[in-house]
Structure 1
């Protein structure tokens, strides 16, 4: 079985390739616009916005895992989200059809739900609040329409929550780094719950979907339980690293005011800054999601949430 991973040179893709390479009966290829530092021999250079690249990349494939996306909070111009996340998917679907490939796993995002929703499952109507979420929802709608015309295909959409793990330098790492360094400033009371997903479990679920192909169209949230509060993360960080974590607190309104100030500064300087109003809003929001459907599919996460957090803290900050 030949599996083509689109956008596999990043954090999730690298771990997924490692898992799949250890599995008998799978032939793995990575297609990305940047070379993979870990798996260069398996990587071909290609851009999802280039249809010719995708036509060539998908020759002989049996299944496609689409990881490539524009996802940062500060992508400019904003049309880039839609060029990559929506038109890029359309290019892949056209290339799949031309190459008679009928199995795709698309990584979307819980960002399609918007903020402060009450533990939504896959039946909740999407309400994205930013361009990233809007572009992912448009891509999902494209896939749903595509299935109406291609009912013999296998289309799986996975909406992971924020992913963390060893080697990642994303939002969770930034938060844990601040906590571990003792320079952490809590905005608000810290009681908002955060759904997260450990990378080892996310890639295991993607592999599960690859190997358990069933014709049809399915959407899955992916979340590892339990959902921790920000206060819980402070507690577990201190416990794992065996250190007392001082925590300074400021009210939410003051944090948002500072975020807007950084927005203005970023616009004036045309620089990407680590703080913004969007990031403050996301930090303070309740982001809980239901993952019962994924857990009822027959998949068993290989790691507990606590184990994933411990592995990450020990690897990144345990020196």
Structure 2
């Protein structure tokens, strides 16, 4: 099949390009930045800023939309342009495709309370804690509105995606650990779902083979949850880091996050602060998703977990020059070093 993939120069998109190419599909990769030489070994590449119309005609059988503003810190206008209007452009462009797959996020669930095995039929909250969740929810509604124009439309909701090429979670944890300190909000026993990027690739392959019609939403995560304590301990050990762990009460952590954010705004830093209120909320409460629906409908049996995920991350980080090189600029590394294909 011919498959179009946006966000091919990003984390999830790069893995889908390699995964689906290895299965014999003809891949057309879209990205708004110049492609790495390695990408061109797996796909034809088209330069496309998804906030603008594209003039060429889409001839893909399957279209997977991964591009977007993937951060909880940023201006509403920037996120709206990429996550909402960019999705609208992708939906209009891919209208001739048989199946449209939208890579969403668990951030569309209610952010104000802990999530215990949240299901896909949960209602959208009236208000979101950040612009990322708000704009991704708007994009989901738009995808649903367009669903009558496609034979199949699927929304995938992963949570805390990790693996080789991760640009957010792992480098942030390692940056704190490099300084000899890790901060745990509360006692660190709260559980949360995580998603190995290989399990996303696996879920997409199941979708392509399935006979499902119409519009569907699936949570996609690893089979097992982790506590914050387990995540920090196992990741730091893999990189031979032994930071001192400080347990910080929720209110104190929230206040520290406000200081980090204020400093960032005063000095006009465009990068996400190392510590934000969203991080405090996310890592201080239970945040687990139910994957019973995808198991039932697609026979989803995730092959990857945190154990092999850590091993692969370590191998990949070593292949791009080591921990310090990774932490210094994680955004430019997804097509460098050892290229994992799940």
Shared fold per TM-score greater than 0.5: yes
Within 2, Cα distance between the matches of 1:213 and 1:47?
33
Alpha-carbon deviation of 1:282?
2.2
Match 2:193 to one of 187, 192, 195:
195
Contact map agreement 1:225 1:305 (CA 8 A) in 2: no
Contact map agreement 1:200 1:303 (CA 8 A) in 2: yes
SS in 2 for 1:119: strand
Bigger Cα displacement from structure 2, 42-51 vs 299-308: 299-308
- Taking a change above 3 Å as real, the CA distance of residues 195 and 22 of structure 1, as seen in their structure-2 partners, is same
Alpha-carbon deviation of 1:106?
0.2
Give unpaired runs (5+ residues) of structure 1. none
**Counterpart for residue 302 of structure 2:** 301
**Counterpart for residue 44 of structure 2:** 42
Alpha-carbon deviation of 1:243?
6.8
Within 2, Cα distance between the matches of 1:133 and 1:156?
18
Within 2, Cα distance between the matches of 1:241 and 1:71?
25
Within 1, Cα distance between the matches of 2:60 and 2:187?
50
**Counterpart for residue 278 of structure 2:** 278
Bigger Cα displacement from structure 2, 179-188 vs 125-134: 179-188
Quote the RMSD (CA, aligned, Å). Answer: 2.3
Mapping of residues 31-180 of structure 1, within 5 Å: 31-37=30-36, 38-40=38-40, 42-51=44-53, 53=54, 55-56=55-56, 58-76=57-75, 78-97=76-95, 100-115=96-111, 116-127=114-125, 128-147=128-147, 149-150=148-149, 153-176=151-174, 178-179=176-177
Write out per-residue CA displacement over residues 140-184 of structure 1, whole angstroms, 9 at most, x where no aligned residue.
11122222x43x521010011010012322123422553476421
How many pairs does the alignment contain?
A: 310
Alpha-carbon deviation of 1:95?
2.1
- Taking a change above 3 Å as real, the CA distance of residues 42 and 138 of structure 1, as seen in their structure-2 partners, is same
Contact map agreement 2:72 2:278 (CA 8 A) in 1: yes
Write out per-residue CA displacement over residues 214-233 of structure 1, whole angstroms, 9 at most, x where no aligned residue.
32111001111211111112
Which aligned runs of 4 or more in structure 1 are off by greater than 6 angstroms?
none
Bigger Cα displacement from structure 2, 64-73 vs 179-188: 179-188
SS in 1 for 2:207: helix
Contact map agreement 1:154 1:213 (CA 8 A) in 2: no
- Taking a change above 3 Å as real, the CA distance of residues 181 and 237 of structure 1, as seen in their structure-2 partners, is farther
SS in 1 for 2:256: helix
**Counterpart for residue 231 of structure 1:** 229
Match 2:263 to one of 265, 287, 298:
265
**Counterpart for residue 253 of structure 2:** 255
Contact map agreement 2:74 2:131 (CA 8 A) in 1: no
Contact map agreement 2:222 2:304 (CA 8 A) in 1: no
SS in 1 for 2:199: helix
**Counterpart for residue 9 of structure 2:** 9
Contact map agreement 1:16 1:207 (CA 8 A) in 2: no
Contact map agreement 1:234 1:245 (CA 8 A) in 2: no
- Taking a change above 3 Å as real, the CA distance of residues 243 and 31 of structure 1, as seen in their structure-2 partners, is closer
Contact map agreement 1:260 1:276 (CA 8 A) in 2: yes
Contact map agreement 2:19 2:201 (CA 8 A) in 1: yes
Task: Provide the TM-score with structure 1 as the length reference.
Answer: 0.88
Write out per-residue CA displacement over residues 97-121 of structure 1, whole angstroms, 9 at most, x where no aligned residue.
3xx2231000011000033122211
Alpha-carbon deviation of 1:314?
5.3
- Taking a change above 3 Å as real, the CA distance of residues 203 and 71 of structure 1, as seen in their structure-2 partners, is same
Bigger Cα displacement from structure 2, 86-95 vs 222-231: 86-95
Give unpaired runs (5+ residues) of structure 2. 324-342
